[in-house]
Structure 1
């Protein structure tokens, strides 16, 4: 078997990912500054309260636009397949790093797929609710009850999004090689075969080993 590494993410995909990550951090910090008076000191990172209010929605919209770029690239790979359900049932083995008895999976494991669709849902809720409460341009078109509901949904979606990203970061660090793949783009064949065997066989054309034939007599 060749030792040549496998390209997991090209330069455009990695750039897109890190732009979303940077904008997420900026939007999260500015959003926290506006969320509670105890966190208002974070607004100094953006030039004060008025500038934080101005910049936060624009950063959120940019984050959504770049995230759509990731969705267009990866949505097909995040469809659930039959092996995913069995993988989830044996998640305890995955957590113990015991691969025996765990079914092979594609480019993304079921946990990553759940995260992908959760992020997409949160982004959509944040966009729609953010438009409703965007005072400078749109809030005048909505009733006060709609604005209150949108504010609640915006905070809830942001909370779920932040927790999801924390899980994403932890998983990326916990599974050795994942973070490196998003930094440099390449993974070893051994890593790909161990963690994403179906994807590995798809990109390499390598077929599973034939079971030994029991000869009688």
Structure 2
């Protein structure tokens, strides 16, 4: 097929958005591994990733703040695209059809489908929980401001939020691999018209009609 007959690719994420996304991804991996090292002695060997136990305790919270700030920037840009609508709730009700690759039986998805939107807001809540509990636990800076029972409760909640966050990211990664062509959006920034028509038809109609921005 010559270049004239190739379908024109659609921009889904700008270079800045992709860089921000991969910073979030890298910092998440560092936080997950260093967090496990601090959580249980069986995982302590993972602290070598950041230079040992002392450096892991020092760097873990700073990396957490960096991830949170990067996510705030990303979420602020994408927030309006992730507001739930009646169509999204109907899409979620037909999720079994999506799993069985019968997407023609569910409402057309906009830039993001109902599942992606739920995951988006779940990550916002979990990251807020991780930040607040992390601040309570952050020795040398904030922990001395709180009674010991509050620090212990924050430690428990921090571990719970971290576990749920890891589960959410696993779902996110699995969905990205399962829906063929999705990884390309976060590596090259573009998708094919066929991919957009199959998975986000309402978004493609919007782009073709010029009714709103896809950025």
Whether TM exceeds 0.5 here: the answer is: yes
The answer to whether 1:203 aligns with 2:203 is no
Q: Which residue of 1 aligns with 2:194?
A: 190
- 2:142 and 2:95 mapped to 1: Cα distance? 45
CA deviations 1:136-167 (Å, max 9, x no partner) are 21100000111011111100000000000000
The answer to whether 1:132 aligns with 2:136 is yes
Map 1:145-184 → 2, pairs under 5 A = 145-184=149-188
Would you tell me which structure has more helix in proportion to its own residues? 2
Deviation at residue 58 of structure 1 after TM alignment:
0.3
CA deviations 1:164-207 (Å, max 9, x no partner) are 00000000000001111110011011110111111111112189
- 2:89 and 2:122 mapped to 1: Cα distance? 17
Q: Which residue of 1 aligns with 2:26?
A: 22
TM-score (norm 2): 0.93
- 1:116 and 1:136 mapped to 2: Cα distance? 32
TM-score (norm 1): 0.92
- 2:171 and 2:161 mapped to 1: Cα distance? 15
CA deviations 1:9-60 (Å, max 9, x no partner) are 0100000000000000011111110000110011111111100000000000
* Structure exhibiting the larger radius of gyration computed from Cα positions: 1
Map 1:70-89 → 2, pairs under 5 A = 70-89=74-93
After TM superposition, the structure 1 stretch with the greater mean CA deviation from structure 2, 1-10 or 91-100, is 1-10
Give SS of 2:112's match.
Answer: coil
* Count, aligned residues: 207
- 1:185 and 1:128 mapped to 2: Cα distance? 33
Could you list the runs of 5+ residues in structure 2 that have no partner in the other structure?
none
Q: Which portions of structure 1, spanning 4 or more consecutive aligned residues, are displaced by more than 4 angstroms?
A: none
Q: Which residue of 2 aligns with 1:35?
A: 39
- 2:52 and 2:7 mapped to 1: Cα distance? 53
Q: Which residue of 1 aligns with 2:9?
A: 5
Could you list the runs of 5+ residues in structure 1 that have no partner in the other structure?
208-217
